Every structure is written in C-alpha cells, then in structure tokens.
C-alpha cells in the first residue's frame, strides 16, 4: 500500500512539474508575441504602443519608413481622426518613430501595387476602403491616372484626389 502511494505521489509530482514547465513556456511565448514585443526599446516606445495600438498593430505602423516630416504629418492625420495624445506625448511618439523607423525620403506610393497599410496611412483610406480598393484593383487591373479611380463604389475619391502629391498610378 505504501509503495503504491509513494508511486502515485511521485507521478503526481512529475505531472505538476511538467504542467508548470508547459505553462511557463506558454507565458514566455505569449509575452514574446505581445504587440510591440519586437519593436526596439527606447524613449517613447510605451507611449507609441499605447496611443497607436488603439487602432493599429504596432508592427503595421512601424512597417512604414517615413522621414521625420512624414511621421509628423501622419501623426497629425491620426490626431485629426481621433488619436488622443498630449503635445508632449506627440513629441515622444514622433521622436520614437523617426529614430527607429526612419525612411530615406518621402516618395509617392504606387496605387497599382500599394499594400493596404500604405493606402490607410498615406492616402487616409479606412480599412474597409483599402480592402475595397485592392479588390477593385485585382479585378480591373492597374490604373493609368488617379482619375481612373473616380467610380470605385465604397472608396472616397476625395481622399485619393487629395493625396495626388503622395500617390500615383505608375
């Protein structure tokens, strides 16, 4: 009886240890997969994750490589859309993004190949509009001018037209 009890106790200790190891590994994996886990540490990271993470996955935002002026303009657009941050926080976000995700120079995006993130961030389309635009583009082929895009149902031509200096069909 005692041998059987000792065997069960040993098995129980083994199972508890195994479960503990699996749970610890899962917690570490979840922490590594947390939003912003792969973004560089630095001043302003926490503010950037908090403010930008309300609407965007941080890695999507950081995939843009803009000049400091480009980041400043994009942050301004996000504020117009409702992003809540103080002037001090805006400066921290701008410094963080322009330090860690600086592009060489502003350049227009090609509407014939632009991914959804560029259509959203550079042109100002909403997620649904960007998806609608990409579906239209896949069905109808490349545009020759922005004016070719006037009649896409569900996409604001006014936004496309206003972005002529930042986008084109080439």
Same domain, 95 and 59: yes
In this structure, the answer to whether residues 52 and 89 fall within a common structural domain is yes
Query: Domain holding 150: CATH number?
Result: 1.10.150.280
In this structure, are 115 and 96 located in the same domain?
A: no
Same domain, 49 and 29: no
Q: 18 in helix, strand or coil?
A: helix
96 and 50 together in one domain:
yes
Same domain, 53 and 22: no
Q: Has residue 38 been placed in a domain?
A: no
Give the domain extent around 27.
Answer: 1-33
**pTM passes above 0.95:** no
- Give the whole-angstrom CA distance, residue 88 versus residue 9: 59
Asked if residue 118 is part of any domain, the answer here is yes
Same domain (yes/no): 51, 9: no
Residues 168/108, Cβ–Cβ less than 8 Å: yes
Same domain for 55 and 92?
Answer: yes
Dump the DSSP string for 38-61. Answer: TSPP-TTHHHHHHHHTTTS-HHHH
Does the residue 17 lie in any domain? Answer: yes
Confidence at residue 60, expressed as pLDDT on a 0 to 100 scale? 64
Q: Hey, how many other C-beta atoms are within 10 angstroms of the C-beta on 38?
A: 11
- Count Cβ atoms below 10 Å from residue 124 Cβ, excluding itself: 20
Instruction: Report the CATH number at residue 62.
Output: 1.10.760
- Tell whether 66 and 86 lie within a shared domain: yes
The total number of structural domains that make up the chain: 3
Q: Kindly state whether residues 116 and 156 are assigned to the same domain.
A: yes
Q: Note whether residue 40 is domain-resident.
A: no
Residue 125 counted as domain residue = yes
The position carrying tokens 């604001």 is 156
168 beta partners? 110
Do 81 and 117 belong together in one domain?
A: no
Task: For residue 152, tell me if it sits in a domain.
Answer: yes
Mean pLDDT by 10 residues, the chain (170 residues): 48 41 43 65 90 75 73 84 90 91 73 91 91 96 93 94 86
The answer to whether residues 97 and 49 touch, using CB atoms and an 8 Å cutoff, is: no
Look at residue 39 and tell me if it is in a domain: no
73 and 93 housed in the same domain: yes
């Amino acid at each position: 009886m005692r041998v059987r009890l000792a065997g069960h106790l040993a098995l129980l200790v083994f199972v508890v240890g195994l479960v503990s190891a699996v749970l610890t590994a899962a917690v570490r994996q979840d922490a590594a997969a947390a939003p912003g886990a792969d973004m560089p540490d630095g001043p302003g990271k926490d503010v950037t994750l908090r403010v930008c993470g309300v609407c965007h996955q941080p890695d999507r935002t950081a995939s843009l490589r803009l000049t400091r002026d480009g980041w400043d303009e994009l942050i301004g657009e996000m504020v117009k859309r409702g992003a809540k941050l103080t002037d001090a926080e805006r400066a921290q976000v701008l410094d963080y993004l322009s330090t860690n995700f600086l592009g060489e120079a502003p350049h227009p995006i090609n509407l014939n190949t632009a991914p959804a993130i560029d259509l959203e961030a550079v042109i100002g389309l909403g997620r649904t509009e960007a998806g609608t635009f990409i579906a239209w583009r896949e069905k109808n082929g490349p545009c020759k001018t922005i004016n070719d895009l006037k009649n896409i149902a569900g996409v604001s031509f006014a936004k496309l037209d206003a972005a002529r200096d930042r986008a084109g069909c080439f």
